[in-house]
Structure 1
């Protein structure tokens, strides 16, 4: 079982772009395989998408904190958080396939929830409707608020309900 002490968040810098893009690509590979494209075409396309996404996040979440998730000093994921506004927004959280379903995401989200309680802020996230992580968010008391663009579920965890328990 993964423990909190084994996980570190390291602020992302320009030298981490490669691992960040690799993590993004790993989250999309399976859905792209039925496309009929070659592995190289898929990989090239996904790296292009990763770059576009990164630019979008930098432009639209200027105050966000971009982290590389380390597990036992190994780069295993990324966490982008915008906590400047009226809530804590999880902009992106992703792990390499070998590190999913080990409890790393649960620990990170519970740490954000502790921050939410301490700072009296709710936490929000947009999750693709077919993302298996939705079950994690539901288990951690995130509630469905609305569908966005027929692709995403906007989910919110309310710190007030957490403090009432």
Structure 2
């Protein structure tokens, strides 16, 4: 995609801070990322729902405690929530904590365009973008395509980094 194509993808995309009223949407969004994994588990549906709620709440509490001052944003398209983008702009880096889109919005260039925006912001400040991703996550292909390189492996997670040109 050209830069013009990416800007076109972002037409109608806005961000806003998360609010308590977003909890149901954010839980549903989180659930969409675990659907395939839990389809293989022989738990009753109510147990899966309870598990996913507990996991979502734990993740949210961890992010908020570990990344003070981070931006917790809901991504909207045409006024409807379609994803979440969490970024922590630190003194030495921009940490892409989370980018998740609804399944219907995946594979359309929105994630690429949003990550490139984060990269442009970091480049203006001459800072790298860093993130964690599970080694089996399909998004790993996207990160590699955008120039992220693996710094280390931390259990299931790979720690990746992108550096703007000229930044060492």
TM-score in terms of structure 1 length: 0.92
1:158 aligns with 2:135: no
1:65 Cα shift? 0.5
* Partner SS state of residue 165, structure 2: helix
Conservation of the 8 A alpha-carbon contact between 1:63 and 1:84: no
Instruction: State how far apart, in whole Å, the 1-side matches of 2:159 and 2:46 are.
Output: 33
Q: 2:68 aligns with which of 41, 54, 62?
A: 62
Indicate the residue corresponding to 1:118 in structure 2: 124
- CA deviation digits over 1:110-148, x for unaligned, max 9? 101111111111000000111100011011111111101
1:68-83 alignment, distance < 5 Å: 68-83=74-89
- What pairs with 1:1-165 in structure 2 (closer than 5 Å)? 3-149=9-155, 151-160=156-165
Could you say what the CA RMSD is over the residues aligned between the two structures, in angstroms?
Answer: 1.5
Q: Distance in 2 between matches of 1:18 and 1:84?
A: 29
**How many residues matched?**
161
Structure 2: which 5+ residue stretches go unaligned?
none
Q: Deviations over 1:61-119 (max 9, x none)?
A: 11111000112221011011000331000111111111111111111001011111111
SS in 1 for 2:40: helix
Once residues 28 and 62 of structure 2 are traced to their aligned partners in structure 1, the CA distance between those partners, rounded to angstroms, is 17
8 Å CA contact retained: 1:29, 1:42: no
**In structure 2, distance between residues paired with 1:62 and 1:96:** 26
CA distance in 2, matches of 1:6, 1:47: 30
Give the match's secondary structure for 1:31.
Answer: helix
Which blocks of at least 5 consecutive residues in structure 1 are unaligned?
A: none
